Amino acid sequence: MTEHPSAPSAAGPGPLPAGPGPYPPPGPYPPVGAHPPAGPPALPPKPSALPVEEREYHHFLRTPRARWWKGALAVVSLVVAFLLVSTALTAAAVVVDLATGRTEAGALQSGQITVTPLIFLANNLALALLTPVAMLLQWGFFGQRPGWLSSVAGGFRWRWFGRAALVVVPVWLVYVGISFLVAPEGLSGTLSRDAGLMLVVVLLTTPLQAAGEEYGARGLLARSAGSWFADPRVALVVGGVVANLVFMVAHAATDPWLLVYYFTFGAALSVLAWRTGGLEVPVLVHAVNNLFLLVPVALYGDLSGAFDRGPGTGGPFMLLPIAVMLVMTLVLSLWARRNRVQRSSAPGAVDAPAGGPAVLPPAQAASAPER
């Protein structure tokens, strides 16, 4: 019997026809429901701009994204930016004082410039601007947002600032009072010519000036130099030396006693930033020191004398402020330990919500110090 052409053969289907037809091409085939990959493969994640392991304040810029040239450029950029801003503001103040008769051209040519309220304001504003400049440079070169320059907690800790003030303010009142009793020759018995105006400028801008010096020196400069070294001890020493040499030179002192004082003052503040995990105490000490020393001079003296740092302006009496700084560094370090102030963090070690703090693992969250 002849088989019908369309009937299946007992031996199975015959060979597939060549060319296009109702049959699919040979496999393999993707699983049912699978979709072809969309676009090129994902790139590896960018290295974290924040520390991925516990870092103390002075070593906080030592991250997977750190490079030696970033620290070098940050140091140079801060110094250049300050020189440009300071020169521009001071020149503008001098021009206005010349136009109003507060400064004479002859005195200007001889280099004897009286510190008028406007010149003092220009100086303080130039230093105050170091705070935003340092924050922006850290953000630009290292990728860390401005709040991380204040502390390892990612912001300025006002509660800790207030507690530290309970120790700093009374001690400085006593220290400054003794200083003016020992050496009252800088003060007269009557109010100075611009007492009211100078007092306003001192009160409103001196805290900002002190903060700017801390964010610039103990903040960006020390951290940038510290980012060059993997060893935190070397980073602490080298960063402190670099920052405080710049701090000392910036005060333009030529008296050896004043040189020692400025370097010691800065070094003590570097230690406090390290021991407290932030700039709150250095800003507090610097601001209180400058305010308490400048207010009496603004009222009953001449601030030009406060900027006279030539040979002979210092002396053995500078041992008193040096001793105060050294003792207070120890006291405030112990006060920070008693208040369980956070000294280190690793915000880049875990994922953080957008715009929020890093989420600590349960074991760390249970023992996290008060911020």
Q: Each residue of 178-213: pLDDT tens digit?
A: 888 877 666 766 787 888 999 999 999 999 999 999
- Per residue in 79-129, pLDDT (tens digit) is 999 999 999 999 999 999 888 888 777 666 666 678 899 999 999 999 999
Asked if residue 218 lies in contact with residue 282, where contact means CB atoms within 8 angstroms, the answer is yes
Distance, in Å, from the CA atom of 60 to the CA atom of 345, rounded to the nearest integer, reads 9
Tokens 């249970």 -> residue: 366
In the predicted model, residues of the chain with pLDDT beneath 50 are 1-4, 6-12, 351-371
Residue of 135, 127, 43, 40 lying closest to 85 (CA atoms): 127
Residue-level pLDDT at 20: 52
Whether residue 310 is contained in a domain is answered as yes
* pLDDT reported for residue 15: 54
Report yes or no on 24 lying in a domain: no
* Angstrom distance (rounded) from CA 59 to CA 82: 24
Strands (E), 125-250: none
pLDDT at 133 (0 to 100): 98
| Nearest in space to 102 (alpha carbons), one of 90, 114, 120 | 114
Is 306 contained in some domain?
Answer: yes
Cα–Cα nearest to 348, from 69, 155, 61, 136: 61
Residue 208 lies in a domain: yes
Helices 158-182 and 319-338, packing angle to 10 deg:
160
pLDDT for 322 equals 96
Measured distance CA(158)–CA(256) in Å, rounded: 37
Domains held by the chain: number? 1
d(CA 89, CA 186): 28
Q: Is 59 exposed, middle or buried (0-12, 13-18, 19+ CB in 10 A)?
A: buried
Q: What pLDDT was estimated at residue 308?
A: 84
Q: Is residue 328 part of a domain?
A: yes
Residue 54, burial from CB neighbour count under 10 angstroms (0-12, 13-18, 19+): middle
CA 108 vs CA 97, 104, 306: distances in Å = 11, 6, 18
Residue 1: inside a domain, yes or no? no
d(CA 141, CA 73): 8
Residue at token pair 């801008």: 205
Range of the domain at 209: 55-344
Beta strands in the chain (DSSP E): 55-56, 344-345
Give the C-alpha separation, 125 to 89, whole Å. 8
pLDDT, residue 30, reads 58
The answer to the question of residue 329 being in a domain is yes
Q: Are 161 and 287 in contact (CB under 8 A)?
A: no
The verdict on residue 323 lying in a domain is yes
Look up the pTM and report it: 0.83
The two structure tokens encoding residue 17:
């026809």
Residue 232: what pLDDT? 97
3 state DSSP class of 350 = coil
